[in-house]
Chain A
Amino acid sequence: QKEVEQNSGPLSVPEGAIASLNCTYSDRVSQSFFWYRQYSGKSPELIMSIYSNGDKEDGRFTAQLNKASQYVSLLIRDSQPSDSATYLCAVEDFNKFYFGSGTKLNVKP
């Protein structure tokens, strides 16, 4: 079983601030990484994917990948109360995704 580690939180940030979410993984051969958002009682929805070292930006979201350190992060700029959710990191391994337990984010108005 692949290990995907996330701080469970909760991470609390004020509205308009930058939220930083982190994830580490155990398998060096993993090539594809994903961030999902999950609202309470709902199913996960894909926010971003990243495959190459460095940063990938999409609107207010930036994913960062460092394969040497086996580390993936998600930055949310200008955080909004609607961003309050659990953020799941997923690592791909031979067509299956392994998920971390998620970080709960609270954005305070």
Chain B
Amino acid sequence: DTGVSQDPRHKITKRGQNVTFRCDPISEHNRLYWYRQTLGQGPEFLTYFQNEAQLEKSRLLSDRFSAERPKGSFSTLEIQRTEQGDSAMYLCASSSALTPTLYGYTFGSGTRLTVV
């Protein structure tokens, strides 16, 4: 499969626990994005990488959130001390740095997080 892969698909966690999600982008894409989507809203930008460099992080993003892309391939998104307000679908997307505005992003299937 050559699409964007996310793992896990679903995660239920207790408030206060840490969670980590993984994203494997399309292999030839060097840009990787994380978005969060809550019910009835569009995806909200969290952060993005070009290769291993994190180029931008949303100012709205809590310090409890951190993302890495250590070798410029897969990425992880960690949420520390989860809160009920973190419940959402976490979407990963990838694109080529040369053509993001020509062909848009390709999204993964998402990780649905429920904090109880």
Give A residues with C-beta under 8 Å from B: 1, 4, 8, 31-32, 34, 36, 42-46, 49, 51, 88, 90, 92, 95-102
Contact = CB atoms under 8 A, between A and B. Distances in A.
5 contacts: A31-B101, A95-B100, A97-B43, A97-B105, A100-B42
A98 B107 contact: no
B101 A32 contact: yes
A4 B44 CA distance: 12
Interface residues of B, number: 25
A34 B40 contact: no
Contacts of B42: 4, 88, 90, 99-102
Nearest to A100: B42
Nearest to B110: A43
Q: Which of A1, A44, A98, A102 has the most chain B CB atoms closer than 10 A to its own CB?
A: A44
The 3 A-B residue pairs with the shortest CB-CB distance, nearest first, are A99-B42, A32-B101, A43-B107
Contact of B40 (A32, A42, A45, A101): A101
Given A44-B91, A102-B41, 20 more contacts: A8-B40, A32-B101, A34-B104, A36-B104, A43-B91, A43-B108, A43-B109, A44-B107, A46-B104, A49-B102, A88-B43, A92-B101, A95-B31, A95-B100, A97-B45, A98-B45, A99-B43, A101-B41, A102-B40, A102-B42
Interface in B11-62: 31, 33, 40-45, 48, 55-56, 60
A46 B105 contact: yes
Given A43-B109, A96-B48, A96-B56, A49 B40 contact: no
Contacts of B33: 96
